[in-house]
Structure 1
Amino acid sequence: MFSIDKFIRPHLLSLKPYSSARDEFEGEASVYLDANENNLGSLAGGVDYNRYPDPYQKAIKEKLSLLKGIRPEQIFIGNGSDEAIDLLVRLVCEPGKDEVILLPPTYGMYEVSANIHHVGIQRVALDERFQPVFEKIAAKQTDRTKILFLCSPNNPTGNLLNPDTVERLIKSFNGLVVVDEAYIDFTEAPSWSTRLFEFPNLVVLQTLSKAWGMAGLRLGMAFASPEIIAYLNKIKPPYNINAVTQELVSAALDKTAQLQDMLQVITTERERVMAAFNQMPLIEKVFPSDANFVLVQVANANDLYAYLLERGVVVRNRSTQPGCANCLRITIGTPAENDHLLGSLKAYSQEKSVA
């Protein structure tokens, strides 16, 4: 049976976490003289912001618990998913000794976090359909391999990973399997968070930056066993989510009807844009997408990227990523923005045909 205690870096097992002023009592008081705050108020918008925020974001976790069907003690909230990624590497990987497995092309912060903590990286490229190859991944695992990162839907390719392969990997991997679902809201597929009770080594990441439209607030989530979440809370900064973010996110989580409306617009526009791409000779391949972006392959990505910039359109050139030669990743924008993009692509085609 998997036990997270066997994977925690030894010195963290006995770590005594920082005890914040708000950790040391329950209930309400009339006079707070415990945290060296400025009791006169705040220059940033009133009295409220002179107080430290809830270090465990209890109000948000209660709403997420109802929304996601996950117990509050199974939820970690971070400053974006990037904080959860960083803390997971820090939690189980000994610098200069342990390693993680990445499946390129994939989200770049897994590699950045590993490098920051001087953790080794084993790379197992996705196949030509951007799917994981179980046998190749299994062959890379050693007793030093502590985390397998899976991104589904994958960034930058946009596709969901095969669920049967993902399940085999979770069951067989002797370490943490982190499934990053930043784009899960744009699909009809169930979240792996619905199966946490089956897999004690599973960590699922989600974010409010994409479908919920709150990238500027920086709030990400990790869902896992209560034991893993307790360790993440133990090593996180005491007040990692500021009061403004907590207030705005809590209010936004009540607007699920508006979320569905936005998702409908984005997915409809995604299909429209992809259909237009498929009619353009300059686009050699349109990859399937379960996200709010589309990966396309063209003859000369660098040239097209520069041309779009001249017309005020910024996309992402992913040509340096494995399996993504001459590929651009294009986010689905508003209908007007998408029209501008498509018009720019047609103009590019016309100019090249004349030349």
Structure 2
Amino acid sequence: MTIQNLIRPSIKALKPYSSARDEFKGGTENLIFLDANENPFENGVNRYPDPKQGKLKALISQIKDVPTEHILLGNGSDEVLDLLIRMFCEPNKDNILILPPTYGMYEVLANVNAVETIKINLSEETFQPKTAAVLAAANANSKLLFLCSPNNPSGNSFEASSIEFLLKNFKGIVIIDEAYIDFSKEESWLSRLSEFPNLVVTQTLSKAFGMAGIRLGMCFASEEIIATLNKIKPPYNINELTQAKAIEGLSEMALINLQIACLLDEREDLIKALEEVYFIKKVYPSDANFVMVKVDDANKRYQQLIENGIVIRNRTTQPLCENCLRLTVGTKEENQRLVENFKRL
């Protein structure tokens, strides 16, 4: 297996669009820009943003300890995932593998791109990958395997031995979605990127970093994969305001780490309180900023909370999640109100 053999032939042959900002390689001091048909009247956003996000990538590189050549940024992680499907999967021919219950956008993006989705449910109760079943379900047209760890909606991290086994034996690209990794006791797979050419790790600023509103996703992979993704991404996919706000937010890592520590404390307190609610049958372990619980009647309890002004997520329709609710960890006051309402129902 080589990465080049996995990439769609049309993508390998593609000549990327060259924007005005790509073609001009010089600095920006004391220059008159008449190359991009921009409005010349300065208002802070009249110029196109940096298509390569140089300053932002340099900061992310420093925080994540990953060279910039191994980083791609997307308009949310969803754009990154969409680009990966378009890069590797031939429409109406190839397929992806997902492990329900999991993040629903994997299948949606596959459907948008006319790519088949093969589903292999996680093991019951433990929500761990059934590695033998995954490999048995794969075929010659299986290009991508999506692993969400910590998993959404169950909240658990996948065992490192299972992930490593799949990385070594799956004949395609393994994408580890680490949207919730900052809340986990497990180490990120970023530290092992160099070991596995077929490893792609995605992360986001939407969760632990508190910047869901700016829509910024991060993709970490080999230089070969990142170079190809840069060929097919829109030239200015990360706008100027997003880049500036991300740099501002990432410059406050002490505050971010403090908020993460606070949420971890709140998560443990919330779990203890939920275990005392009579109609909650099980509180699942969590490595994320949410907790999944099994209740007596998910539809009933969900509606009761709505009527009391609290919105949670009802996951009862998802595989292995019958009568399960997903609860985001909020502030101390929000969590207390949630528990108080649960105990009053």
User: Which bracket does the TM-score occupy, shorter chain normalised?
Assistant: over 0.9
**Structure-1 separation of matches of 2:128 and 2:102:** 11
Matches within 5 A, 1:138-217: 138-217=135-214
Match of 1:53 in 2: 49
Match of 2:105 in 1: 109
Q: Bigger CA drift: 7-16 or 172-181?
A: 7-16
Residue 28 of structure 1 deviates from its aligned partner by: 2.5
Match of 2:133 in 1: 136
Alignment counterpart, residue 78 of structure 1, candidates 47, 68, 74: 74
Alignment counterpart, residue 219 of structure 2, candidates 218, 222, 226: 222
Residue 190 of structure 1 deviates from its aligned partner by: 1.0
**Structure-1 separation of matches of 2:329 and 2:185:** 18
1:209-257 per-position Cα deviation (integer Å, ceiling 9, x unaligned): 0000000000000100000001111000110000001001012111111
Match of 2:119 in 1: 123
Which ranges in structure 1 are unaligned for 5 or more consecutive residues?
42-46, 349-355
Match of 1:351 in 2: none
Residue 78 of structure 1 deviates from its aligned partner by: 0.3
- Aligned letter for 2:117? I
SS class of match (2:176): strand
Instruction: Please tell me whether residue 242 in structure 1 is matched to residue 243 in structure 2.
Output: no
Residue 122 of structure 1 deviates from its aligned partner by: 0.8
Alignment counterpart, residue 311 of structure 1, candidates 287, 308, 311: 308
1:65-87 per-position Cα deviation (integer Å, ceiling 9, x unaligned): 11111110000000111001001
- Aligned letter for 2:215? R
Which ranges in structure 2 are unaligned for 5 or more consecutive residues?
none
**Structure-2 separation of matches of 1:72 and 1:287:** 37
- Aligned letter for 1:34? D
Match of 1:35 in 2: 36
**Structure-2 separation of matches of 1:291 and 1:298:** 20
**Structure-1 separation of matches of 2:268 and 2:27:** 52
Match of 1:9 in 2: 8
Number of aligned residue pairs: give it.
342
**Structure-2 separation of matches of 1:258 and 1:28:** 33
Instruction: Please tell me whether residue 67 in structure 1 is matched to residue 63 in structure 2.
Output: yes
**Structure-2 separation of matches of 1:336 and 1:231:** 47
SS class of match (1:48): coil
Alignment counterpart, residue 265 of structure 1, candidates 262, 270, 285: 262
- Aligned letter for 2:20? A
**Structure-1 separation of matches of 2:290 and 2:185:** 16
- Aligned letter for 1:36? N
**Structure-1 separation of matches of 2:109 and 2:48:** 28
Alignment counterpart, residue 87 of structure 1, candidates 78, 83, 86: 83
1:259-295 per-position Cα deviation (integer Å, ceiling 9, x unaligned): 1110111000000010001111110000000000000
**Structure-1 separation of matches of 2:54 and 2:154:** 35
Residue 339 of structure 1 deviates from its aligned partner by: 1.1
